């Protein structure tokens, strides 16, 4: 005995899959910030300052990516 099932997407009220091309703008903002170089004999204050600057840059990238994604979701919710 063989049973054939039809796709549920064809039934009224059933969810359907929509193909949407999401822009990569937000991913482009999410850049990896490399560790600053540490050299032998380097002052600890200089090393800490460089790491703080790199952390600030990385956090700026995260914030920009977050803001971009929020904006993207709003645009898609409103039909682009």
Q: pLDDT tens-digit profile of 20-73?
A: 778 889 999 999 999 999 999 999 999 999 999 999 999 999 999 999 999 999
Residue 12 lies in a domain: no
- Distance, CA of 31 to CA of 5 (rounded, Å): 47
Domain range for 51: 24-77
Place of tokens 């560790």: 35
The pLDDT, as a whole number, for residue 71 is: 94
Residue 4 lies in a domain: no
The pLDDT, as a whole number, for residue 79 is: 81
* Residues 40-70 as b or e (16 or more Cβ within 10 Å = b): eeeeeeeeeeeeeeeeeeeeeeeeebeebbe
Residue 69 lies in a domain: yes
pLDDT higher at 4 or 43: 43
Evaluate if pTM is beyond 0.75.
no
Residue 73 lies in a domain: yes
Residue 45 lies in a domain: yes
The pLDDT, as a whole number, for residue 55 is: 97
pLDDT higher at 15 or 80: 80
Residue 7 lies in a domain: no
Place of tokens 């990238």: 61
- Distance, CA of 22 to CA of 28 (rounded, Å): 13
- Look at the chain and report how many structural domains it folds into: 1
Residue 66 lies in a domain: yes
Residue 3 lies in a domain: no
């Amino acid at each position: 005995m063989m049973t054939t099932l039809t796709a549920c997407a064809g039934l009224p009220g059933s969810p359907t899959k929509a193909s949407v091309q999401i822009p990569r703008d937000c991913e482009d903002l999410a850049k990896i910030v490399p560790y600053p170089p540490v050299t032998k004999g380097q002052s600890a204050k200089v090393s800490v300052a460089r790491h703080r600057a790199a952390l600030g840059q990385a956090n700026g990238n995260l914030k920009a990516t977050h803001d971009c994604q929020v904006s993207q979701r709003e645009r898609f919710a409103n039909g682009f």
